[in-house]
Structure 1
């Protein structure tokens, strides 16, 4: 294993076994994956800075703060800002259709004197001009969560939807390997055409390849709970021999009452590609068989640490893919949920001022 002797932070499987995190908790060192330009991956150990040299100013831009994923991201970046002693302003662009708003918010924030920007991108390809402008001004750019294609980005720490789909597929493939009795899956990856949905789909298909798992039908649809419930109802009506409902966290949450109403709870199992508070409770209760869980909170912590490292011209692990895994009722109590979700009573924090 490659050991990074300088202090580099990251998100990994070991992190998911840690105790409860607080603003001052030492959440590192962590085992992580370093992603190379050729697509290869190598394990590394990442250790964060103990403190920033100065109370630097950092802008953080997210697409929105409407769901548990981005709340967890906000929790991660703001808690790490407190720990490191830096100033952070968090920007909410208003949704995935608001690219121009994201760009103008970042420009305004940087005009206030930021030395670095952390961006949860609305568009992978739509921020190239902004990144180039920031670089010309000497402002560092950290690409967090979603991915930015611009070569001007200084560091990446990403959640990778294809990996999440792959983990869910492999979970089923390991339970139903080639040569065993065939099982049929109703697969609901999300809204058609969305980039992250296509990545979920490609990863899932790769994960079940060569196994006894068959997709009875793939249904695309918006991730509203009512819409997902209707898609599940339609699928169950068409395919009476389905063994699993697999899909987004909203799909999993919607499937539980649908299956209960049809007395299919013992026959049809539910697997979620990723985790929300409802999915987490479902796994604990056993109404959802399994769910993929990636350390979303830690990705936010990493991104802020990377920004500080760049400002202070210290070594940076420039391309990180967090390591997640699939949990079941039997082992979910081993998970430190504070690495995946914000605390239950957490409300969005938009500014942290160094003390």
Structure 2
């Protein structure tokens, strides 16, 4: 099974993905299903600053790659900064200050928390500098447009998979979402709270923490030590991948089956080898590409929506081979992109 997954993850090396192949793409635009087509090219080499929470896994490698690919295709300059983790909000604020000092023309921001950059974004809004909210959700009035999937819908998609898999029997589900103040975590918890499960699901909270493997491993171990008879674990990608391995090696101590809240390379490997059942994907590479296009549209005064969302797909072992992996991660051999915004 590892061989199968290795072949799948190397697909983009065997069949290179050209920059123009990602569109037209079915998406949701301002609440309506539509086909997305970006601009052919920017009218000038605008300078765009992108801020990401971290670069520790191929989810954010994919975001950085998508940003870079679309910037190259449209002929604009790009700076990519990652803060090092959700615990480093001060670093992201400092990186934003650096881009403001460099007088970026527009900003694409995957924020560490929903309101941590509001003062700076208010000032950018007064100066009519475009800000595109990418992936994580910002609750500040200075946002121009959004390229993101509602993680409430991601959580509901994952929970619906659990309900179908459990064939209607009541289940106890361990919940390990990630960083407590991140917008996507708040949205995911809203989705769980709003889901109509009619008493079929009891959610057992396992705690919050950064989405690095060591932090999530501690939370998974604590949750299973306290609740060894959980039916399912639903968690962030690092929690899910670790939980799947722990359950497999735990013998008869645990019976939980694992579903991830979103997909990463590690989660796809776990789905392939059977330690994780499934994961919805929010197509982060596509969100990144769209964000660059929205920034250019805003700069050039061209028609643009308020929100663009790729369609959510649920990946399990049956659908894994049909999934377009270029929507989720960069080709094999591409690592995290970090680069300074060129000076004027």
Identify whether the pair has TM-score above 0.5, normalized to the shorter chain.
yes
TM-score (norm 1): 0.81
Question: Which residue of 155, 166, 179 corresponds with 2:156?
Answer: 166
Question: Does structure 1 residue 293 correspond to structure 2 residue 272?
Answer: no
For 1:167-190, what per-residue CA distance to the aligned partner results, in whole angstroms no more than 9, with x for missing partners? 11111223346xx43333233233
Is the 8 Å Cα contact of residues 168 and 207 (structure 1) preserved in structure 2?
A: no
Q: Superposition pairs for residues 100-115 of structure 1, below 5 Å?
A: 100-115=90-105
CA distance in 1, matches of 2:170, 2:137: 37
Question: Does 1:67 pair with 2:57?
Answer: yes
Partner of 1:209: 197
Contact map agreement 2:262 2:281 (CA 8 A) in 1: yes
Q: Does 1:246 align with 2:230?
A: no
Give the corresponding residue for 2:188: 200
Partner of residue 13, structure 1:
none
Aligned counterpart, 2:7: none
- Counting matched residue pairs gives 327
Deviation of 1:297 after TM superposition, in Å, equals 0.6
Equivalent position to 2:28, from 25, 33, 47: 33
Distance 1:101 1:249 in 2: 24
Q: Which moved more, 1:66-75 or 1:81-90?
A: 66-75
Cα deviation for residue 88 of structure 1 reads 0.9
Change (3 A) 1:224 1:136: closer
Structure 1 residues 189 and 123: alpha-carbon distance in aligned structure 2, compared to 1, 3 A threshold = closer
Instruction: State the 1:235 CA deviation.
Output: 4.4
Partner residue, 2:81: 91
Change (3 A) 1:190 1:118: closer
* RMSD of aligned residue pairs (Cα, Å): 2.8
Question: Which position in structure 1 is the counterpart of 2:317?
Answer: 329
Partner in structure 1 of residue 327 of structure 2: 339
Q: What per-residue deviation string (whole Å, max 9, x for no partner) do you get for residues 34-85 of structure 1?
A: 34xxxxx222222111212222221112223233332221111001111111
1:234/1:54 CA distance change after superposition, 3 Å: closer
Task: Tell me the equivalent position of 1:271.
Answer: 259
Question: 2:72 is matched with which residue?
Answer: 82
User: Is 1:255 aligned with 2:243?
Assistant: yes
What is the TM-score of this pair, normalised by structure 2? 0.84
Secondary structure of the structure 1 residue equivalent to 2:288? helix
CA deviations on 1:176-227 (whole Å, 9 max, x unpaired) are: 46xx433332332335565543432332343462263333x32114345455
From the superposition, tell whether residues 225 and 210 of structure 1 become closer, same or farther in structure 2 (CA, over 3 Å): same
Change (3 A) 1:123 1:194: closer
After superposition, the C-alpha distances for 1:90-118 in whole angstroms (9 at most, x for unaligned) are 12334434444434433433443432111
Deviation at 1:231, TM superposition (A): 4.4
Where in structure 1 are there 5+ consecutive unaligned residues?
1-18, 36-40
Q: Is the 8 A contact 2:41 2:73 kept in 1?
A: yes
CA distance in structure 2 between the aligned counterparts of 1:233 and 1:101, rounded to whole angstroms = 30
